[in-house]
A and B are shown apart, each in its own frame.
Chain A
Amino acid sequence: RKEVEQDPGPFNVPEGATVAFNCTYSNSASQSFFWYRQDCRKEPKLLMSVYSSGNEDGRFTAQLNRASQYISLLIRDSKLSDSATYLCVVNIGGGSNYKLTFGKGTLLTVNP
Chain B
Amino acid sequence: ETGVTQTPRHLVMGMTNKKSLKCEQHLGHNAMYWYKQSAKKPLELMFVYNFKEQTENNSVPSRFSPECPNSSHLFLHLHTLQPEDSALYLCASSQALAGVVLGEQYFGPGTRLTVT
Residues of B within 8 A of A42 (CB): 109
Minimum C-beta distance from A26 to chain B (A): 13
Interface stretch, picked from A60-68, A76-84, A93-101, is A93-101
Is B34 in the interface zone, CB < 8 Å from A? no
Q: Of residues 70 to 106 in A, which have CB atoms within 8 Å of B's CB atoms?
A: 87, 91, 93-105
Given the interface pairs A104-B41, A105-B42, the reply to whether A98 lies near B99 with Cβ below 8 Å is yes
Minimum C-beta distance from A54 to chain B (A): 19
Minimum C-beta distance from A84 to chain B (A): 14
Is A46 in the interface zone, CB < 8 Å from B? yes
Is B12 in the interface zone, CB < 8 Å from A? no
Complex partner residue of B90 from A4, A32, A43, A105, CB under 8 angstroms:
A43
When chains A and B are docked, how far (Å) is the Cα of A93 from the Cα of B96? 10
Is B66 in the interface zone, CB < 8 Å from A? no
Is B105 in the interface zone, CB < 8 Å from A? yes
Count residues of chain A with CB under 8 A from any CB of chain B.
25
Contact yes or no, B56 A98, CB < 8 A: yes
Interface size class of B (residues with CB under 8 A): 20 to 34
Contact yes or no, B56 A93, CB < 8 A: no
Is B101 in the interface zone, CB < 8 Å from A? yes
When chains A and B are docked, how far (Å) is the Cα of A30 from the Cα of B104? 16
When chains A and B are docked, how far (Å) is the Cα of A42 from the Cα of B50? 25
Complex partner residue of B55 from A46, A98, A101, CB under 8 angstroms:
A98
Contact yes or no, A93 B99, CB < 8 A: yes
Residues of A within 8 A of B90 (CB): 43-44
Residues of A within 8 A of B43 (CB): 44, 87, 102
Contact yes or no, A104 B42, CB < 8 A: yes
Residues of A within 8 A of B42 (CB): 4, 87, 101-105
Contact yes or no, B56 A32, CB < 8 A: no
Name 8 A/B residue pairs within 8 A (Cβ), A-sorted.
A42-B109, A43-B107, A44-B90, A97-B99, A98-B55, A98-B100, A99-B45, A100-B101
Residues in chain A within 8 A of chain B (CB atoms)? 4, 31-32, 34, 42-46, 49, 87, 91, 93-105
The 4 closest A-B pairs by CB, nearest first: A43-B107, A46-B104, A102-B43, A93-B100
